[in-house]
Amino acid sequence: MDITSLTAVELGKKIKAKEISVVDAVKASIAQIEKVEKDVHSFVTIDKEGALKRAEEVQKQIDAGILTGPLAGVPVAIKDNMCTRDMLTTCSSRILENFRPTFTSEAVLNLEKAGAVIIGKTNMDEFAMGSTTETSYYGATKNPWNLNHVPGGSSGGSCAAVAAEECPYALGSDTGGSIRQPSSFCGVVGIKPTYGTVSRYGLVAYGSSLDQIGPIAKDVTDCATILEAIASYDLKDSTSIARETYGFTSALKSDVKGMRIGIPRSYFGDGLDAEVRESILNAVKVLEGKGAIVEEFDLNLVKYAIPAYYVIASAEASSNLARFDGVKYGYRTEEYEGLHNMYKKTRSEGFGPEVKRRIMLGSFVLSSGYYDAYYLKALRTKALIKQEFDRAFEKYDVIIAPAAPTTAPEIGKSLSDPIKMYLGDIYTISVNLAGLPGITIPVGKDTKGLPVGMQIIGNCFEENKIIRAAYTFEQTKTYERPEIAKEAR
């Protein structure tokens, strides 16, 4: 039996039916990692010994009837910006290269309560700052569909690990599209939930008003099931929201009859690759054929999303990253003269170029004389973008958009031009500014054989609508595996 080709829910069922043991499931993931990791480089840390020990413990709890959930015994990979007790949490940065937290983030704890087995921590853009997973201190992750191309970012390691079948599912974080864009590039499914749905406690902060943890998996069923497991109200997170229901799997119905779908004209104009546009519009036709009502509309203020986002995110980053100074934990420079020199040298040596760029930008927009001109103006723009989405959702149940302007670019092409890389987030960042939920699903491939992803956006707390629309489309096509996953058999 090809264990690694199973979805998380399928694997969970077979474990529960005693067709596969938890140890066998973990060993299969580890074996796949050993086969493809040298090419893909999805992981920063692999905890083989800890995962096998945990697998035995979980198996006993399953046999005793203590763990009965759909994810019990299923291996998972965690993005390396979520704290895991006694396991390295580096944010793919030199400044945290030796950091082992004394606690575990709430989302990961929720998975452990559900019986998940953590096999390791995935590579990412340093401190989640980037769109390609090339800014990592530990080197770039490759796209399993074509090793010459990027997997997207910043959750590129998590998305590549799922696509290469190194794990059935993974957790990522999304500040400006960091789950949805790499999911599109890697041909997997990723959900960014409504802001406040999943606790941020234990997530190393980048932009605190924008960050949100979410699931990455092979299909919509897995993502809904995982989101149900990790979502919770948490008193330790002041931005956490107590929701009336967390029943995301109830939306797994192939039915969009009467669903009103909005297509923003500005999202499908200049700048969008013709093959990406065609694949997404063909998917829209499929939903229309299933009874959805499709209509074009204007969403004009979104053109201001990129400048607003980078001002706000960089301002919050400059504040959040001030704590990494070499005093209490993490990297400290070896030679220094006095405290201030130690701060300066530690941060200069510990942070990479992209992180330094955003810290400097953030410090500038928060400085005296520029705070009103940039930061406050960006916050007002954020509020206006939210209002425009509110008006759109008075008329539409969901909005369909691209997840990225193109398929995955070649390694080295985006990083050489930071502005071009920032512009690549044009279709995803407004969702974070407005705190909305969004899901990316694969809808086709371009002529190079690279996946095309479609983004479905919903109103706040209406994940079930985007899950239903995504699930309905997904039932019309089969999941495709990259050659690297097939060849590793």
Query: pLDDT in tens for each of the 489 residues of the chain?
Result: 699 999 999 999 999 999 999 999 999 999 999 999 999 999 999 999 999 999 999 999 999 999 999 999 999 999 999 999 999 999 999 999 999 999 999 999 999 999 999 999 999 999 999 999 999 999 999 999 999 999 999 999 999 999 999 999 999 999 999 999 999 999 999 999 999 999 999 999 999 999 999 999 999 999 999 999 999 999 999 999 999 999 999 999 999 999 999 999 999 988 899 999 999 999 999 999 999 999 999 998 888 999 999 999 999 999 999 999 999 999 999 999 999 999 999 999 999 999 999 999 999 999 988 999 999 999 999 999 999 999 999 999 999 999 999 999 999 887 777 777 777 789 999 999 999 999 999 999 999 999 999 999 999 999 999 999 999 999 999 889 898 887 655
pLDDT for the residue 488: 52
Contacts of residue 214, Cβ cutoff 8 Å, sequence gap at least 6: 171, 172, 173, 174, 179, 190, 191, 192, 193, 198, 227
State residue 301's pLDDT score: 85
Q: Which listed CATH number (2.40.37.20, 3.90.440.10, 3.40.50.300, 3.90.1300.10) goes with 3-260+463-487?
A: 3.90.1300.10
User: Residue 369: how many CB atoms within 10 A of its CB?
Assistant: 6
pTM of the complete model beyond 0.95:
yes
Considering Cα of 296, then 297, then 303, then 308, what sign does the dihedral take?
Answer: negative
Spatial CA neighbour of 392 closest among 303, 219, 485, 262? 262
Q: Where are the domains of the chain?
A: 3-260+463-487
Model pLDDT, residue 132: 96
CA distance 404 to 431: 13
Q: Which residues of 223-243 are buried (b: 16+ CB within 10 A; e: fewer)?
A: bbbbbbbbbbebeebeebbeb
Coil vs helix vs strand at 77: strand
Count the Cβ atoms, other than its own, within 10 Å of residue 314.
26
**Of 152, 112, 158, 113, the residue nearest 135 (C-alpha):** 152
Catalytic residues: 79, 154, 178
Residue 105 DSSP one-character state: -
The bridge status of strand 398-402 relative to strand 451-458 is: antiparallel
Query: Backbone phi, then psi, for 171, in 5-degree steps?
Result: -105, 145
| Res 478: pLDDT | 87
Cis check: omega of the bond before 42, within 30 degrees of 0: no
Phi then psi dihedrals of residue 19, to 5 deg: -80, -30
Q: Kindly give the residue spans of alpha helices, DSSP state H, lying in 164-271.
A: 180-186, 220-230
End-to-end CA distance of the chain: 11
CA–CA distance, 401 with 487 (Å, rounded to integer): 33
Residue 262 pairs with which residues in a beta bridge? 295, 399
**pLDDT for 271:** 87
Q: Return the exposure string of 67-106: e unless at least 16 CB atoms fall within 10 Å of the residue's CB, then b.
A: bebbbbbbbbbbbbbbbbeebbbbbbbbbbbebebeebbb
What amino acid is encoded at 111 in this protein? Answer: L
pLDDT at 1: 64
